[in-house]
Amino acid sequence: MSLISLEDVWVEKGKIKVLSGIWLEVERGEFLLVLGPTGAGKSTLLRVLHMDERPTRGRVLVDGKVAKFGGREVALWRRRVGMIFQDFKLLPDRDVLENVAFALYVTGMGRRDARRRALEALASVNMAHRRHDMPYVLSGGEQQKVAIARALVHGPELLLADEPTGNLDREAAEDVLQLIERVHREGTAVVLATHMWELAGRWPFRKVLLEGGRVREG
């Protein structure tokens, strides 16, 4: 049984068909690379997988059960999923440790336990020494590492990565990709969306091509 699957999913914005009849399964522990040009619908696809975006038509199934996109159901699913973005989305008025701990505060975890787990997550990405720094003093690569720690702090089953190296230089991008590879080796399913076609040759994992809102296996 798939962790999450999409059945004939359409997302329409007015007259624009952003996703058109998507059929896709994400298995537990797999690494899925979603390749496509800018504007192909990759971010929208990941938002559907994260339940940020409700399809116009079609079904989303979690553990084989049809998702209704109710408030509690969405909240429970997001506790099983981590997400990282091209533009990091760190809170500018909180230091590094609080940025990571915040992901646990919203689940109701107490401050002491949340900060302890946040520090452990930062240590796992070699950023514990920057825990008291504000995001604006960090490099792009360091900000993305903090974002990865935030995505992983609650031990997700699935990591969604939306163009995670898009704003990084080559060295920082390599560090981030190696971190994502390690996360996958440790058993977390990964869906990575990118326009960087050269990544297709980096991994032997399953690939799908997304273009014009439609998916085909690579």
- Report d(CA 3, CA 30) in Å as an integer: 10
In the sheet where 65-66 sits, what is the strand order?
16-26, 4-13, 57-62, 65-66
Count CA atoms within 13 Å of residue 211 on its CB side: 10
- Residue 218 pLDDT exceeds 80: no
pLDDT value at position 185?
97
pLDDT value at position 213?
93
Quick one: what percent of the chain has pLDDT higher than 70? 100
Q: What is the mean pLDDT of residues 105-119?
A: 96
125-174 pLDDT, tens per residue?
999 999 999 999 999 999 999 999 999 999 999 999 999 998 899 999 99
> What band does 1 get if pLDDT is binned at 50, 70 and 90?
confident
180-194 pLDDT, tens per residue?
999 999 999 999 999
Count CA atoms within 13 Å of residue 87 on its CB side: 4
Nearest to 132 by CA among 99, 96, 105: 96
Q: Which domains does the chain have, with CATH numbers?
A: 1-80+191-218 (3.40.50.300)
Contact between 90 and 146 (Cβ < 8 Å): yes
